[in-house]
Amino acid sequence: MRLLVTGGCGFIGGNFIRYILEHYDPEFVTNVDALTYAGNIATVAGLAAQYGERYEFLHADIANTDLMDEVMRKHQFFAVINFAAESHVDRSINSPQNFVHTNVVGTSVLLDAARRHGVRRFIQISTDEVYGSLGREGRFTEQSPIAPSSPYSASKAGADQLALAFHKTYGEEVIVTRCSNNYGPWQFPEKLIPLMTINAIRDRPLPVYGDGQNVRDWIHVEDHCAAIVAVLLNGKAGEVYNIGADTEMANLDLVHRILAHLGKPKELIEFVTDRLGHDRRYAIDSTKIRAELGWKPLRKIEEALPATIDWYLANREWWENLVP
């Protein structure tokens, strides 16, 4: 089985490549990444030496039609798994055009190339942010209306709809996954958990938006990777699968846990002006993937969050070059 993984030098994509090479035996994994600010080749360091011909890396932009044609012509891929995305909400507010280029145009190029070159399956990795914001009650299901709040989530919603349209129009075996907030090793330091962890390690202020009561639903990245494999192997074409671990937490509570584990004072917290269009609460209903594909999360945040913090403590050389 040959897999084309796009965005494989990013946080989730890189963890997925490590996960599937370790736990399964695909004939070949090709990692395509443009190595923009959040794509770090160090995230997949050592894979070529460890897995030999089972792994290769191609530095390329997924919106480059000629290059995507070339790579798909070279290999007969079973599936494309599209992690490639500009994903930081604050950056999308400042420069939305970059997000349209990668998240919409890039997905379109990949879908069309996969169709023309006979790729069996196309897994579009999306986000719960396409659903917008929740009130105090309820959870997002696959039937929840799409209501994105930022240029980032709007670009991902557009890519999702485009992918599903390729299934309806061309019969392409497209599946969309929408996951809650991930945490774990190799996450780019602008995201909440690594940012707060690294700032606390350095005794720098921890910037918390607004009142800190925005709620997110957290899942360890390896549980997400296991869910993607279940969808890849057994998911139904044309479907959307929500992925979550039923772990809701206010941002401020999460920051308090990080400080407590590191033995740092709460006085490091600095409340800052809230983000524009900041969604108040996300929560995922993952009943469908659990019932239909037999997946369930295995890692509890009580153990997995401290292990993640300890990873950043033990791997300063990975992030020190990324954070001034």
Q: How far apart are CA 27 and CA 25, in angstroms?
A: 6
Active site residue 129: yes
Catalytic residue among 33, 61, 86, 128: 128
Q: Please give the full DSSP string across 81-120, using - where no structure is assigned.
A: EE------HHHHHH-HHHHIIIIIIIHHHHHHHHHHTT-S
Residue 138 makes CB contacts below 8 A (sequence gap 6+) with: 283
Active site residue 152: yes
| H/E element, 125 | strand 121-127
User: Which amino acid is it at 213?
Assistant: Q
Distance linking the first and last C-alpha atoms of the chain: 41
Residue 214 makes CB contacts below 8 A (sequence gap 6+) with: 250, 251, 278, 279, 280, 281
Catalytic residue among 55, 131, 152, 312: 152
| Residue whose tokens read 């995230």 | 43
| Residue whose tokens read 């990949």 | 110
Q: What is the DSSP letter of 315?
A: T
Contact 119, 1 (CB under 8 A): no
Length of the chain, please?
324
Active site residue 173: no
Catalytic residue among 33, 129, 222, 223: 129
Q: What residues act catalytically?
A: 128-129, 152
